[in-house]
Structure 1
Amino acid sequence: MKIAFFHELPFGGARRAVLELGKALRKQHDIDLFYIDDSEERNLGMFKKVFFNKFIPKKWHGNDWKAKLYIDTIELFKIYRLHNKITKEIDSNKYDFVFVHGSKYTQAPFILSMLKTTSVYYCQEPLRIIYEKLFDIPDNLSIERRVCEKINRKIRKIIDRRNIESADILLANSKFTKKNIKKAYNLIAKVCYMGVDDRIFYPENIDRNYDVLFIGSKDQAEGYLLLKNAIKIMNKKPKVRYVLRENEWITDDSVMRKLYSESKIFVSLSYKEPFGLQPIEAQACGTPVIAIKTGGYLETVIDGKTGFLIKNKPQILAHQLLTLINNDESIKILGQNAISNVKNNWTWEKSSKNLLNIIKKYLQNE
């Protein structure tokens, strides 16, 4: 088949899915990539042709509301026009289908509502600022700013809904996300899990010098404070490696592999994480995972076998960390189980086969 990929994603798990599924599908299909970013990405050899569209968004800091207003109006219109241009290019090339990924600007991208070619949208999560209470408008904003933000969110809700409803095939990255899509949009999605390349993520032969590895930001939703509060009440303080988005963001796979391999435990503490690629990357490196008992973690971490699922409470996290850190034999057994779990259940080859099966069934019934 002749397939087009489209994305305008930031670096992270969803963007990795674009590249890895491209690698898996290129063995039997012709894959072209259309993407929007502020600079060209290297190492895109898995695609037959690459069409880069440059777009430099205005930077916004918390108190700069003029910049925010620009982003929510003029910049949004510029993105819309760029999507219109890309749509014409895609439709003119007569692809069998377009595999559309999320947008860092609108969540469900404009291109979904414009394409004439069959579209497959891989939804990583609904628009969280609209559908989750944690992201409600802060009470400390002025009346004017609250009004502006309410209007902006209403517009974005309309855009997001119209775009996602335009997709011919809707995919979710987990059963948890599938439920959230149903709740938010009253749409039925097919589950297509992401995976891990065990030729990239595997245990390095190095000492596990860190007790705990945390990757994320200081944002409330990512569990940073949960870990900090847990450590405060631990009699014996663990050696923790923090990789914080505010200070550094690692995109080099070999560096990530080393981080996982030199840590005894990886903690996944994000609030209602839709899927979470890092927990299965850590498992591929033989590192047990302690995750909060919610979201996609329920599908990727096998409680008591590849790690532990816990309640979102610092006392429970502290107890679980202390119990595991001091038991090298348990860490070894959990790590071996984790590697087997990834090899058997979480490969990109398995993901790509599932993706193609879903699409072929749809095309046969058209």
Structure 2
Amino acid sequence: MNIAFYHNLPSGGAKRAVFEMIRGLSKRGHRIWEYAPKTESAERNFMSLSDYCEKSIFFDSHQLQPVERWIPLITPYLNLAILIANFTRIDRMSRYAAKVIDAHEPDVVFVHDCMIAGPPHILPYLHSATVYYCHHGLRTYSQLTQTEKKNHKSVGHSSFGHVKSQYYTQAGRIGDFFRLQTEHRNIRAADYVWTNSCHSRERIYAMHGVDSKVVRLGVDTDRFRPLNLPRADYLLAVGGLQPFKGYRFLLGSLARIPRSQRPHLIIAANAEDSDYRGEIIEMAKHLNVSMEIRKIWNDDVLVDLYNRAIVLVYTPVMEALGLAALEAMACGTAVVAVREGGIRETVVEGRTGILSDRDENEFAAALVSAINNKDLIQEMGKAGSIEVQQHWQWDGAIEHIERALERVVAGSK
């Protein structure tokens, strides 16, 4: 097949999954051209696709950066204006990109998420057969969380505080409405929609009335594997420093563990919201939680961290799938996670990890149970590695993706 591959993904689990898809399809003899908006070199170079694509074409979109400095009464609405301006710019770029892609006459356009808009703006403008793979669920989740974060800084208890809170909240509501309408238009333009979990499939249908197909991902078990290293005295969290990753909840849970038993926390982050980083550092100090933040770009370092951790702690809000949990399991490390979102489809409760409701006392109890029962955690780690080997291998996932793409191509002719 001649596959046009369009994406605008940041570093992280989705970009890693895309890399494995491209590598696997390329090794099976398919011709792949990559198309993407230009991004910062760090984002583009993370799991670069160029070695497995015949050609890579990047488009200028000139995105404006949100204002990070907090200016009372102004910042939320200024960032709302920037959001709308960026959507307009990327829409203009997408019209042009669609013409370029269609002119090359691919058998199928395999479209992946946009870090700005979620379902990419290019979908309504493509005339070739399109498959859109939705990695992150719906963008309004993070938009709502960001809004709540800003409200937290501004809410007062007086009537004036209530009015001010409503004023700030309105900017978030307008942004959410704008994003939702754009998502709705874009996702409904795809010929086929695929996603990574039953949780994501249900959310897509609930929000947009679009039926999607669950196409499972995998883990590179040649890289993420047990190294038989001695366990260190830390908990590991993996994921960007962003509000929807649930680090406030995690710190609150750790604070409920007696100080004599409270382990050190390492957060391995690939990206960050600078304001949020400062907030959780201050929160950790206030709660007397020992915490270290590491910026991780190197897989070997990440694999070492997985292998030495007591457990992986995983607390994102309604995460679409949870690739970090699968990577930890592949390394033979048990997972303690919140029982919601896609994590219920990756962690086998009681066998490869411990799941808890989003309750700080309950989550703290789960962590104490893990810390005090090393034999159980060791057995869960072994079971997790077997689970990934049996059910989450990329070879099987790529074969499934290839067959599904071939059916799309056959149906479009």
Q: TM-score normalized by structure 2?
A: 0.81
Measured after TM superposition, the shift of residue 182 of structure 1 is: 0.9
Task: Answer yes or no: is 1:81 the counterpart of 2:116.
Answer: no
Measured after TM superposition, the shift of residue 205 of structure 1 is: 3.9
Contact 2:329 2:335 in 1 (8 A): yes
| Deviations, residues 255-292 of structure 1 (Å, cap 9, x unaligned) | 11111011020011112111111000111111101111
Measured after TM superposition, the shift of residue 221 of structure 1 is: 3.1
CA 1:155/1:225 → structure 2, altered by over 3 Å: closer, same or farther?
A: closer
Q: Please give the residue correspondences for 1:94-109 in structure 2 after superposition, counting only pairs within 5 Å.
A: 94-109=105-120
CA 1:218/1:360 → structure 2, altered by over 3 Å: closer, same or farther?
A: closer
Measured after TM superposition, the shift of residue 72 of structure 1 is: 2.3
Letter in 1 for 2:63: P
Contact 2:146 2:243 in 1 (8 A): no
Q: Please give the residue correspondences for 1:83-162 in structure 2 after superposition, counting only pairs within 5 Å.
A: 83-129=94-140, 138=151, 140=155, 141=164, 147-162=170-185
CA 1:268/1:130 → structure 2, altered by over 3 Å: closer, same or farther?
A: closer
Measured after TM superposition, the shift of residue 363 of structure 1 is: 3.5
Measured after TM superposition, the shift of residue 165 of structure 1 is: 0.3
Give distance in 2, aligned partners of 1:189 and 1:217.
27
Give distance in 2, aligned partners of 1:288 and 1:145.
41
Aligned to 2:265: 240
Give distance in 2, aligned partners of 1:51 and 1:227.
41
- Show structure 2 runs of 5+ residues with no match: 156-163, 278-292
Q: Please give the residue correspondences for 1:303-342 in structure 2 after superposition, counting only pairs within 5 Å.
A: 303-342=349-388
Letter in 1 for 2:375: E
Contact 1:123 1:172 in 2 (8 A): yes
> How many residues of Structure 1 are paired with residues of Structure 2 in the alignment?
366
Measured after TM superposition, the shift of residue 131 of structure 1 is: 9.9
- Show structure 1 runs of 5+ residues with no match: none
Match of 2:311, SS state, is strand
Measured after TM superposition, the shift of residue 95 of structure 1 is: 0.6
Give distance in 1, aligned partners of 2:318 and 2:171.
27
Match of 2:386, SS state, is helix
Aligned to 2:31: 30
CA 1:147/1:262 → structure 2, altered by over 3 Å: closer, same or farther?
A: closer
Contact 2:147 2:172 in 1 (8 A): no
Contact 2:314 2:325 in 1 (8 A): yes
Sequence identity of aligned pairs in percent?
A: 28
Give distance in 2, aligned partners of 1:147 and 1:231.
34
Aligned to 1:284: 330
Match of 1:48 among 54, 62, 75: 54
Aligned to 1:263: 309
Aligned to 1:180: 203
Give distance in 2, aligned partners of 1:2 and 1:312.
45
Match of 1:198 among 221, 234, 246: 221
Q: TM-score normalized by structure 1?
A: 0.91
Letter in 2 for 1:203: P
Aligned to 1:13: 13
| Deviations, residues 28-78 of structure 1 (Å, cap 9, x unaligned) | 211111112323434430222111234453222263347514422332222
Letter in 2 for 1:25: L
Give distance in 2, aligned partners of 1:125 and 1:159.
16
Give distance in 2, aligned partners of 1:120 and 1:257.
32
| Deviations, residues 199-234 of structure 1 (Å, cap 9, x unaligned) | 111122432113311223565532323322222222
Give distance in 2, aligned partners of 1:158 and 1:249.
35
Measured after TM superposition, the shift of residue 332 of structure 1 is: 2.0
- Give the number of the structure whose residues are more often helix, by fraction: 2
Aligned to 2:287: none
CA 1:254/1:55 → structure 2, altered by over 3 Å: closer, same or farther?
A: farther
